[in-house]
Amino acid sequence: MLTKEENELMTRVGPGTPAGEMLRRYWWPVAFTEVVRTEARPTKVKLLDEEFVLFRDGSGQLGLLELHCSHRGTSLEFGRVEKNGIRCCYHGWLYDRAGKCLEQPAEPEGSTFKDRIQHPAFHAQDAGGLVFAYIGSEPAPLLPGYDLLVREDGCRVVGGGEEFCNWLQRAENSSDGAHSIALHAAGYPNMAMKRPTIKWEPTALGIKETTWVEGVTKPRISHFVFPSHVRHSAARVGEQPRQVIRFRVPADDTTTTTFWIDFYPHKDGQPTRPEPLKTRGFKKDQAGVYERVEDGWWNLPNREQDRVAQETQGAIADRTKEHLATSDQGILMLRKMIREAIDAVKQDKDPAGVFRSAHDPIIFDSSRDEVEALT
């Protein structure tokens, strides 16, 4: 149970808020690489209650700028991407990807006004079919080398969607594997309502959660990756087993975006076989509207189950009324990590999971074999 003040502290993500400043120390996926093509239409991005325009200039480099033109505030989402940057539609100011203003076509010949404009510019990079953004304090850390971003021995499918609730509800869900026996009972009939035995272990990146269920020979392993992501294997009934990472991205206080990677390893382990990336796109839903089925459980199809469980807690869950149980130890560990990360940032130290030096791919021990054992 949190006090009202603690709940506010942990959930608010805007600039200047304690959690917001902490969350700004991480890279976040914000778009699909396939969509942000060279000189294609720009993409509007909302991240941590701020707005940006994302584009790829004529040199193939990504640009991530403050959304509103420095001149009079028109959205650069409606600008034109050119060889050297992006041009605002209103008066034609041209910015390069570093936020330098290159042209102001309505200003007099010889004007140097453009040289005194520095439009806010941020970091963006591609990895695994997604575009990641960093909008926090400089210098930017490295994007962590999570295995599914860098592995080449399989087929990668990326997609996304949004949920109309605060990021912490999504993060708590990511650190809470116990809900699978109930919420996902229809998809995992061999686990349905079976009392689990769960072990939580802190890791350098978050929490390793191991779950044993009677009658299932191998345990289920799921990794919570701070601040809000989850890395596990998935194989619900009717689905092909795969490795999964799901990034839960705070768009604003009451909207959380998911970008996910499903990775299907080659059966023969052949890393060199070419496999085109598949982009499933962004699934748009309507707040509070859910598809229903008849499955004898909650009558919700797979893709709606987590939406319902988290959105219906409210836009920002009221944690002053919760009753955490033994099976919620992952939640308690997560909240402790949040407090420590906020404190670290206040002291201008890197919070956990921030990488500043080159490192090997980060492998998670949630192998495909274990998936098969579970289903």
Closest to a copy of itself by CB, 297 vs 355, is 297
Q: Which is nearer to a copy of itself, 117 or 373 (CB)?
A: 117
Could you tell me the smallest distance in angstroms from the CB atom of residue 358 to a copy of itself?
38
Enter the tokens of residue 352.
């956990």
Helix (H, G, I), strand (E, B) or coil at 209: strand
For residue 369, the tally of other CB atoms under 10 A from its CB is: 11
Residue 142, strand partner residues? 355
137 or 197: CB nearest a copy of itself: 197
Closer to a copy of itself by Cβ: residue 120 or 141: 120
Strands 154-163 and 278-283 come out as: parallel
Q: Minimum Å distance from CB 136 to a copy of itself?
A: 20
Query: What's the half-sphere exposure (Cβ side, CA atoms, 13 Å) at 299?
Result: 4
Q: Give the DSSP letter string of 101-163.
A: EEE-TTSPTT--GGGG-B--EEEEEEETTEEEEE-SSSSP-BPP-BHHHH--SEEEEEEEEEE
Residue placing its CB nearer to a copy of itself in the complex, 64 or 261: 64
Give Rg (Cα) of the chain. Answer: 22
Least distance from a copy of itself to the Cβ atom of residue 309, Å:
4
Q: Give the interface with a copy of itself as residue ranges (CB under 8 A).
A: 41, 68, 70-75, 77-80, 87-92, 104-109, 111, 113, 117, 172, 178-179, 181-183, 185, 193-197, 290, 297-300, 305, 308-310, 312-314, 317-319, 321-328
Least distance between a copy of itself and beta carbon 219 (Å): 15
Tokens of 369: 């074999």
103 bridge partner residues = 94
Q: CA 364 to CA 261: how far, in whole Å?
A: 14
| CB of 91 or CB of 368, closer to a copy of itself | 91
Q: How far is the CB of 118 from a copy of itself (least distance, A)?
A: 10
- Min dist CB 313 to a copy of itself, Å, is 4
User: What is the spatial distance between Cα 172 and Cα 13, in angstroms, rounded to a whole number?
Assistant: 16
